[in-house]
Amino acid sequence: MAADHGLTAGGRVSWDPALYGANNAHHRRHDDDFLASLPLPAAARVLDLGCGVGDFTVRLASAVPEGEVIGVDAAAALIAAARRERVDAAVRFAVCRAQDVSATFPPDHFDVVVSRAVLHWITAEEQESVLAGVWQVLQPGGRFRAEFGGRGQLGDLVSLLDEESDRVGGPVRPWYFPTAEEYRGLLTAAGFRIGSSGWVRLVRQRRSFPDQSALTGFLVSQVLVAYEIAMTADQLREFRGRATGRAIRELRRADGSFDLDFVRLDLMAIRPNAENA
């Protein structure tokens, strides 16, 4: 998400679409690999769950020229930006939480549901309802393809941020980072099949941020908000100053760049039909 996040009454943080869009290149570098793992028929109907400002959603639309692509996100500001900036794309956008897809779309409607860098924002307690909703809106035989933070994601950085948030009375461990075994169990319980054409795995990556500005942009646009949303304005300012300062000092490499350890929970699951039940 190059403006700052805006503070609302009570100190809560609102997503800034421009700030997010200016700092999500580290995700976009993995778009080609993700698409290569998901062959899409030209007429497929695709739901992009947690689409943000819609940049990847547009890539999906170009892959299904005879199909339908809908991007949804819980953040109204991000959806407004997506509608404004992607007006010429063959894609629709709607405000919708991941937990509410089955109340928003008809059953058995989509061939594919895709989700990128979203599900770790949803609590462990709500994952069951998310997966139940995805299962309902998929056609029998449809595929659920997702990647999000898994166990060990940004380990050193998260430890640092937890310490600084706790110091000002804020939350700790604000994300859900499961193991592959844990999430496989949730998928199976929701009725999904993994089988020989699917997978649930942790993928380790080193994502590089070339300088202090790039690291700070990443932190402010996509990371600190997880802690700050529960803070007062005074807590937020102290936390943000100390957290970014420590990250710059403690994570900087000799050449001035920053390499961060990402661990992604990467999955392909199938809603069974008569042929693959």
Residue 5: the pLDDT is 33
Residue 19: the pLDDT is 87
Query: How far apart, in Å, are the Cα atoms of 197 and each of 30, 32, 131?
Result: 21, 19, 19
Residue boundaries of the structural domains of the chain: 6-270
pTM equals 0.91
Calculate Rg over the CA atoms of the chain.
19
Residue 87: the pLDDT is 79
Residue 55: the pLDDT is 93
Residue 14: the pLDDT is 63
Residue 43, token pair as written in the block: 């007429």
CATH code assigned to 6-270: 3.40.50.150
Kindly list the averaged pLDDT for each block of 10 residues, start to end, along the chain of length 277: 31 68 90 94 97 95 96 94 86 95 97 97 95 98 98 97 97 96 98 95 95 95 91 93 96 92 97 78
The dihedrals phi and psi of 143, each to the nearest 5 degrees, come to -115, 140
| Burial class of residue 276, CB neighbours in 10 A (0-12, 13-18, 19+) | middle
Residue 1: the pLDDT is 27
The dihedrals phi and psi of 39, each to the nearest 5 degrees, come to -60, 130
